[in-house]
Amino acid sequence: MLGQCVPGCVVEIGAGCGSLQSYDAGVISLDIVNSPWVDIVADAQGLPFDAESVDNLVMLDVLHHIPRPLLLLDEADRVLRPGGKLVMLEPSITLLSQFFYSRIHPEPVDMKADMFADQPLSSEDPFASNQAIPTLLFAKHEQTLANRLNGLEVKHNEWLGPFSYPLSGGFRPWQLLTKRTLRMLLKLERRLPVSVLKLLAFRLLTVMEKSR
Protein backbone atom coordinates (compact mmCIF):
# COMPACT_ATOMS: atom_id res chain seq x y z
CA MET A 1 0.00 0.00 0.00
CA LEU A 2 2.82 2.40 0.84
CA GLY A 3 4.39 1.55 -2.49
CA GLN A 4 1.35 3.04 -4.22
CA CYS A 5 1.82 6.40 -2.50
CA VAL A 6 3.43 9.49 -3.97
CA PRO A 7 6.28 11.31 -2.16
CA GLY A 8 5.02 13.41 0.74
CA CYS A 9 2.95 12.98 3.87
CA VAL A 10 0.87 9.85 4.47
CA VAL A 11 -2.25 9.84 6.65
CA GLU A 12 -3.68 6.47 7.64
CA ILE A 13 -7.45 6.66 8.19
CA GLY A 14 -8.85 4.09 10.60
CA ALA A 15 -5.38 3.43 11.93
CA GLY A 16 -6.52 1.39 14.95
CA CYS A 17 -3.38 0.06 16.63
CA GLY A 18 -1.15 2.09 14.29
CA SER A 19 0.61 -0.93 12.76
CA LEU A 20 1.38 0.92 9.51
CA GLN A 21 3.77 3.13 11.47
CA SER A 22 5.99 0.08 12.00
CA TYR A 23 6.66 0.19 8.24
CA ASP A 24 6.96 3.99 8.04
CA ALA A 25 7.41 5.97 11.25
CA GLY A 26 6.34 9.14 9.45
CA VAL A 27 2.78 7.96 8.87
CA ILE A 28 0.16 10.11 10.63
CA SER A 29 -2.43 7.85 12.28
CA LEU A 30 -6.08 8.94 12.44
CA ASP A 31 -9.00 7.02 13.92
CA ILE A 32 -12.48 7.78 15.23
CA VAL A 33 -11.64 5.77 18.38
CA ASN A 34 -8.99 7.16 20.69
CA SER A 35 -6.04 4.93 21.58
CA PRO A 36 -2.36 5.32 22.52
CA TRP A 37 -1.39 4.62 18.88
CA VAL A 38 -3.55 7.32 17.29
CA ASP A 39 -2.17 10.78 16.50
CA ILE A 40 -5.50 12.38 15.53
CA VAL A 41 -9.01 11.43 16.67
CA ALA A 42 -11.53 12.37 13.98
CA ASP A 43 -14.37 11.10 11.78
CA ALA A 44 -13.22 10.23 8.26
CA GLN A 45 -16.43 11.82 6.95
CA GLY A 46 -15.12 15.20 8.16
CA LEU A 47 -11.35 15.16 7.95
CA PRO A 48 -9.57 17.83 10.05
CA PHE A 49 -7.25 19.00 7.27
CA ASP A 50 -7.15 22.09 5.07
CA ALA A 51 -7.99 21.84 1.39
CA GLU A 52 -5.17 20.37 -0.73
CA SER A 53 -2.91 19.83 2.28
CA VAL A 54 -2.36 16.04 2.22
CA ASP A 55 -0.33 13.97 -0.25
CA ASN A 56 -1.66 10.49 0.56
CA LEU A 57 -4.54 8.88 2.39
CA VAL A 58 -4.25 5.17 3.18
CA MET A 59 -6.99 2.89 4.53
CA LEU A 60 -6.90 -0.79 5.48
CA ASP A 61 -10.37 -2.34 5.88
CA VAL A 62 -11.99 1.01 6.61
CA LEU A 63 -14.24 1.97 3.70
CA HIS A 64 -16.76 -0.81 4.35
CA HIS A 65 -17.26 0.58 7.88
CA ILE A 66 -18.12 4.12 6.71
CA PRO A 67 -21.87 4.98 6.89
CA ARG A 68 -21.57 7.45 3.98
CA PRO A 69 -18.65 6.27 1.82
CA LEU A 70 -19.29 8.90 -0.87
CA LEU A 71 -18.87 11.60 1.78
CA LEU A 72 -15.49 10.13 2.66
CA LEU A 73 -14.50 10.20 -1.03
CA ASP A 74 -15.60 13.83 -1.22
CA GLU A 75 -13.45 14.61 1.81
CA ALA A 76 -10.49 12.83 0.23
CA ASP A 77 -11.02 14.93 -2.90
CA ARG A 78 -11.03 18.07 -0.77
CA VAL A 79 -7.90 17.44 1.31
CA LEU A 80 -5.65 15.77 -1.27
CA ARG A 81 -3.26 17.83 -3.32
CA PRO A 82 -3.47 17.46 -7.13
CA GLY A 83 -1.70 14.19 -7.93
CA GLY A 84 -2.33 12.90 -4.40
CA LYS A 85 -3.39 9.29 -3.81
CA LEU A 86 -6.13 7.52 -1.88
CA VAL A 87 -5.05 3.90 -1.36
CA MET A 88 -7.52 1.34 0.01
CA LEU A 89 -7.29 -2.39 0.72
CA GLU A 90 -10.72 -3.91 1.31
CA PRO A 91 -12.74 -7.13 1.14
CA SER A 92 -13.56 -8.25 -2.40
CA ILE A 93 -16.90 -9.99 -2.84
CA THR A 94 -16.49 -12.55 -5.61
CA LEU A 95 -18.06 -15.85 -6.60
CA LEU A 96 -15.71 -17.68 -4.22
CA SER A 97 -15.28 -15.20 -1.38
CA GLN A 98 -18.96 -14.32 -0.99
CA PHE A 99 -19.70 -17.71 0.55
CA PHE A 100 -17.01 -17.25 3.21
CA TYR A 101 -17.71 -13.59 3.92
CA SER A 102 -21.48 -14.16 4.12
CA ARG A 103 -21.49 -17.38 6.14
CA ILE A 104 -18.27 -17.45 8.15
CA HIS A 105 -17.15 -13.85 8.65
CA PRO A 106 -19.13 -11.98 11.34
CA GLU A 107 -19.62 -8.78 9.30
CA PRO A 108 -22.62 -8.52 6.95
CA VAL A 109 -22.58 -8.59 3.14
CA ASP A 110 -25.40 -6.71 1.40
CA MET A 111 -24.91 -6.70 -2.36
CA LYS A 112 -28.25 -4.90 -2.85
CA ALA A 113 -27.25 -1.76 -0.92
CA ASP A 114 -27.83 1.48 -2.84
CA MET A 115 -24.43 3.18 -2.90
CA PHE A 116 -25.86 6.44 -4.22
CA ALA A 117 -28.89 6.86 -1.96
CA ASP A 118 -28.95 9.92 0.26
CA GLN A 119 -28.94 7.93 3.48
CA PRO A 120 -26.36 6.12 5.65
CA LEU A 121 -25.51 2.57 4.66
CA SER A 122 -24.98 1.55 8.28
CA SER A 123 -25.27 2.99 11.78
CA GLU A 124 -22.76 5.48 13.18
CA ASP A 125 -21.20 2.67 15.23
CA PRO A 126 -17.56 2.57 14.03
CA PHE A 127 -17.72 -1.23 13.93
CA ALA A 128 -20.93 -1.45 11.88
CA SER A 129 -20.24 -2.42 8.29
CA ASN A 130 -21.20 -3.81 4.91
CA GLN A 131 -18.34 -5.74 3.34
CA ALA A 132 -19.91 -5.33 -0.10
CA ILE A 133 -19.34 -1.55 -0.26
CA PRO A 134 -15.90 -1.60 -1.99
CA THR A 135 -17.00 -4.17 -4.58
CA LEU A 136 -20.22 -2.28 -5.29
CA LEU A 137 -18.43 1.05 -5.71
CA PHE A 138 -15.30 0.02 -7.59
CA ALA A 139 -16.50 -2.98 -9.59
CA LYS A 140 -20.26 -3.30 -10.00
CA HIS A 141 -21.03 0.44 -10.20
CA GLU A 142 -17.63 1.77 -11.26
CA GLN A 143 -18.98 3.88 -14.13
CA THR A 144 -21.75 5.41 -12.03
CA LEU A 145 -19.16 6.28 -9.40
CA ALA A 146 -16.90 7.86 -12.03
CA ASN A 147 -19.79 10.08 -13.14
CA ARG A 148 -20.47 11.08 -9.53
CA LEU A 149 -16.89 12.00 -8.58
CA ASN A 150 -15.29 15.38 -9.18
CA GLY A 151 -11.50 15.40 -8.95
CA LEU A 152 -10.86 11.79 -7.89
CA GLU A 153 -10.30 9.04 -10.45
CA VAL A 154 -9.86 5.29 -9.99
CA LYS A 155 -6.39 4.58 -11.37
CA HIS A 156 -5.89 1.00 -10.28
CA ASN A 157 -8.00 -1.96 -9.15
CA GLU A 158 -6.19 -5.15 -8.21
CA TRP A 159 -7.91 -8.35 -7.08
CA LEU A 160 -5.77 -10.24 -4.56
CA GLY A 161 -5.55 -13.25 -2.27
CA PRO A 162 -7.88 -15.88 -3.77
CA PHE A 163 -6.10 -18.66 -1.85
CA SER A 164 -3.38 -17.03 0.24
CA TYR A 165 -5.73 -14.79 2.22
CA PRO A 166 -8.21 -17.41 3.51
CA LEU A 167 -5.45 -19.95 4.14
CA SER A 168 -3.46 -17.35 6.08
CA GLY A 169 -6.35 -16.88 8.49
CA GLY A 170 -6.72 -13.21 7.57
CA PHE A 171 -6.43 -11.23 10.80
CA ARG A 172 -6.91 -14.28 12.99
CA PRO A 173 -4.01 -15.66 15.07
CA TRP A 174 -3.77 -18.94 13.12
CA GLN A 175 -2.64 -19.71 9.61
CA LEU A 176 -2.54 -22.89 7.53
CA LEU A 177 0.55 -21.96 5.51
CA THR A 178 4.25 -21.85 6.23
CA LYS A 179 6.01 -18.66 5.18
CA ARG A 180 7.74 -20.51 2.36
CA THR A 181 4.46 -21.95 1.07
CA LEU A 182 2.83 -18.53 1.31
CA ARG A 183 5.56 -16.92 -0.79
CA MET A 184 5.16 -19.61 -3.45
CA LEU A 185 1.39 -19.22 -3.44
CA LEU A 186 1.64 -15.45 -3.81
CA LYS A 187 3.89 -15.89 -6.85
CA LEU A 188 1.34 -18.27 -8.36
CA GLU A 189 -1.54 -15.87 -7.71
CA ARG A 190 0.28 -13.03 -9.47
CA ARG A 191 0.29 -15.11 -12.64
CA LEU A 192 -3.46 -15.71 -12.66
CA PRO A 193 -5.48 -13.83 -15.31
CA VAL A 194 -7.51 -10.87 -14.09
CA SER A 195 -10.67 -12.62 -15.33
CA VAL A 196 -9.96 -15.49 -12.91
CA LEU A 197 -9.04 -13.20 -10.01
CA LYS A 198 -12.31 -11.30 -10.38
CA LEU A 199 -14.11 -14.58 -9.68
CA LEU A 200 -11.94 -15.82 -6.82
CA ALA A 201 -10.23 -12.92 -5.02
CA PHE A 202 -10.78 -12.16 -1.33
CA ARG A 203 -9.17 -8.71 -1.35
CA LEU A 204 -9.40 -5.59 -3.50
CA LEU A 205 -6.67 -2.96 -3.70
CA THR A 206 -8.00 0.33 -5.11
CA VAL A 207 -5.87 3.37 -5.86
CA MET A 208 -7.53 6.70 -6.60
CA GLU A 209 -5.75 9.87 -7.72
CA LYS A 210 -6.79 13.49 -7.49
CA SER A 211 -6.51 14.76 -11.03
CA ARG A 212 -7.22 18.43 -10.39
How far is CA 34 from its chain centroid?
Answer: 21
For 38-196, list the strands marked E by DSSP: 40-41, 54-60, 80-91, 152-160
- Segments forming the whole domain that contains residue 182: 2-210
Provide the whole-model pTM.
Answer: 0.94
For position 85, which CATH number holds? 3.40.50.150
Amino acid at 12: E
pLDDT at 193: 97
Predicted pLDDT of residue 123: 86
Contact 201, 94 (CB under 8 A): yes
Number of domains in the chain: 1
Which residue stretches of the chain have pLDDT < 70? Answer: none
pLDDT of residue 118: 87
Of the candidates 134, 176, 141, 174, the one whose C-alpha atom is nearest the C-alpha of residue 158 is: 134
| Lateral strand order in the sheet of 28-31 | 40-41, 28-31, 10-13, 54-60, 80-91, 203-210, 152-160
Q: Is 168 exposed, middle or buried (0-12, 13-18, 19+ CB in 10 A)?
A: middle
Give me the pLDDT at residue 83, please: 97
**How confident is the model over 167-182, as pLDDT tens digits?**
988 777 888 989 899 9
The model's pLDDT over 69-110, given as tens digits with 9 standing for 90+, comes to 999 999 999 999 999 999 999 999 999 999 999 998 889 999
